[in-house]
Structure formats: structure tokens, C-alpha cells
Amino acid sequence: MPIPDYQTVMLPLLKSLKDGQEHPMREIIEKLAQEFNLTDVERKALLPSGQQFIFDNRVGWARTYLKKAGLIDTPLKGYVKITDRGNQVLKDSPSKITVNYLSQFREFEEWRSAPKIDKGEQDKDQHKESLTPEELIESAYKELRENLASELLKKVKSCSPAFFERLVVDLLLAMGYGGSRKDAGMAIGRSGDEGIDGIIKGDKLGLDVVYIQAKRWENPVSRPEIQKFAGALMGKKAKKGIFITTSSFSKDATEYADKIESKIVLIDGENLAQLMIDHDIGVSNYMTYTLKKVDNDYFSEE
């Protein structure tokens, strides 16, 4: 089954505390994962940031919402316990606990109070109701990044062949290839095929080499192009290659690259743009947010 959203988790979480005992959150998370029959893949699925498991994050926010409504308490760091109000809610036997259900509790509404959006906007963004605050932030970040990548790729496709050669050199250097800028510049840019190809150092000491080919194309790169590239690798007695294009690769080209002995990494236009963003090539920071949380160790008086 799909990973449940945090609202779906709230009632099962509360029920798991009905014995009135203090339970470590780690125990509750694992118990709920079993209750929802999550697979290993679902259990290990990460937020886009790669910093936290999606299910753990959603259980954490379910705990936060229940605590703000006074249904559970956290007597010790990392532990949770049901309250008298929480027991009463279980006696009322709701079919599901949602944000709307919790809004009946004054403490929850005071915590959640914020400027209200109009009904039209509420309907438009109804699907966001199931997302945790972190997921909302990361969803917005993902959309902004995708838009940036699209704009960046348009810029790359419009640049001159000489500029494209320099761009690839900059990217490879930023990724740790090519040794010095002089080495990389001498190794790349030998062809006049609106692209580049050559041999570049695989590390700063030159202990390994990588064969590079790049095409500033609009049409997809087909299998014959990859076959010619693989032949060039054999001619250079090289085992590794990187094929960069501003367009895409056909299915046959991808399948061929996967099954041959030489290791050929295919970087299409979309991946190229993402790598440029990751390594600050052709982009600059214009806004930064730092998310912070309470440092419980600081408040420990032991």
C-alpha cells in the first residue's frame, strides 16, 4: 500500500498508546510500519532532501499534531504517552482523526492559527492538506528547481559551441575531474562538431582517464552514436566514458550503454542542468532559508 499521510497515521498512533504507558517513538514508528504493511522499499523511502525517511517524518508530524491538541504528551525525550483527553477521544471512537477533527480543541486552534485563505484557494490546494510542513517546503523547492533546470537548459542550447566547451570544462572541474583547468582545457574541445570529445583525467593525480564526448544537439542521441563512442573507448584502451548531450538518449542507446563492458555514463540535457545546479555552474544563490529545531540537550539539567 502507499505510504500513509500524517492524518491517516494519527488515529493508529493514538490507539498504539491506549495502554497508558510511556513508549519510545522508535518503537511506535516500527509498530505502525507493520500495521500499515509497508514494504522495505516504502519504509526506506526518503524525502527529496535525503535527510529523513518519509514515513518517520509523517509519524513525527502526527505526534506533533496530537500533542498540540492535548491528546498525547511527551514526558521524556523520545517518549510519548496518551493523556486523559486522548483516552476520551478513543472512547468516542472516531473513524479518523484529521486536522479538522483536532480543530475542536482550543489549544490546537491557537497553535495553528494563521491567516485564512479563501475557499477557492482552499479547494485548489486541497491535495496539499495531506502533506507535512517539510513535504510542502520540499515540494515547492522541487518545483522551483525544475523550473530553474528548464530555463538553464534553454540557455545552454542557445550558447555557442565554444561556450558549451567551456561550460563542460567548468562542470567537470567542479565535479572533481580534469586535474587543473589547463589540463582540462587542453584535453577537451578538439572537434568542430558543435560538441567536444577528448580524454580527461579521472582524478587530480591523473591515475585514471575518462573519455569525454558531448553533443549540443536537439534530436535524441541514438544507439549508433553510442556504439561509435564505445569503439573510440576501445581505440584509446579506456574503460570509462562520459557522453553528454543537451537533448536526450533513445531507449536503444540507453540499453546498449547498460550492457557493454565499458562503463559509459549518459548525461542528457535534464541531468546536465541538474548537475550544473548542484555544482553552481551558471547559477547563483539568491535566497537561503535555515530550518531550526529545539535543541533538547541544551535544556537538559542533568
Note the pLDDT tens digit of each residue in 22-41. 999 999 999 999 999 999 99
Interatomic CA distance for residues 212 and 242, integer angstroms:
5
- What band does 180 get if pLDDT is binned at 50, 70 and 90? low
Sheet holding 209-215, edge to edge: 195-201, 209-215, 240-245, 263-267
Asked if residue 16 lies in contact with residue 71, where contact means CB atoms within 8 angstroms, the answer is: no
**pLDDT grade for 137, boundaries at 50, 70 and 90:** confident
Confidence of residue 301 (pLDDT cuts 50, 70, 90): low
Buried b (16+ CB within 10 A) or exposed e, 108-135: beeeeeeeeeeeeeeeeeeeeeebbebb
If pLDDT is split at 50, 70 and 90, which confidence band does 117 have?
A: very low
What is the pLDDT, as a whole number, of residue 182? 65
pLDDT score of 187: 56
> What is the sign of the dihedral through the CA atoms of 273, 277, 279 and 281?
positive
Q: Which residues contact 156 (CB under 8 A, 6 or more apart)?
A: 164, 167, 216, 246, 269, 272, 273, 276, 282
The residue-averaged pLDDT of 86-105 equals: 95
Which segment, 59-63, 146-150, 235-239, is predicted with the most confidence on average? 59-63
Cα torsion 181, 247, 196, 262 to 10°: value is 90
In percent, how much of the chain has pLDDT > 70? 85
Q: What is the CATH number of domain 159-278?
A: 3.40.1340.10
Q: What is the mean pLDDT of residues 276-288?
A: 90
- Portions of the chain given CATH number 3.40.1340.10: 159-278
pLDDT of residue 181: 65
> Rounded CA gap, 67 and 49, in Å?
26
Confidence of residue 93 (pLDDT cuts 50, 70, 90): very high
CATH 1.10.10 residue ranges of the chain are 6-114
Tell me the backbone φ, ψ of residue 81, rounded to 5 degrees: -150, 145
Q: CB of 88 within 8 A of CB of 33? A: no
Q: In what order do the strands lie in the sheet with 79-82?
A: 23-24, 79-82, 72-73
Give me the count of residues in the chain.
302
Q: Say yes or no to pLDDT of 132 above 50.
A: yes
The whole-angstrom separation of Cα 139 and Cα 87 is 35
Q: What is the mean pLDDT of residues 49-75?
A: 91
Angle between helices 25-35 and 54-68 (to 10 degrees): 110
pLDDT of 166 reads 82
Most confident of 79-93, 163-177, 230-244: 79-93
Give me the CATH code for the 6-114 domain, please: 1.10.10
pLDDT band at 1 (very low <50, low <70, confident <90, very high): low
Chain position carrying cell 574541445:
189
Residue 83: CB partners within 8 Å, gap ≥ 6?
70, 71, 72, 73
Name the nearest CA neighbour of 211 among 235, 193, 175, 227.
235
- The better pLDDT of the pair 23, 140 is held by 23
151: cell is 530555463
At 211, the pLDDT band (50, 70, 90 cuts) reads confident
Above 90 in pLDDT, residue 67? yes
Q: What average pLDDT does range 118-135 have in this prediction? A: 56
Closest CA to 254 of 230, 226, 213: 226
Q: What angle do CA 179, 185, 186 make, to 5 degrees?
A: 95
For 235-245, write each residue's pLDDT tens digit: 777 788 899 99
pLDDT of residue 235: 79
Mean per-residue pLDDT for 149-173? 87
pTM: 0.62
* CA terminus-to-terminus distance, the chain: 44
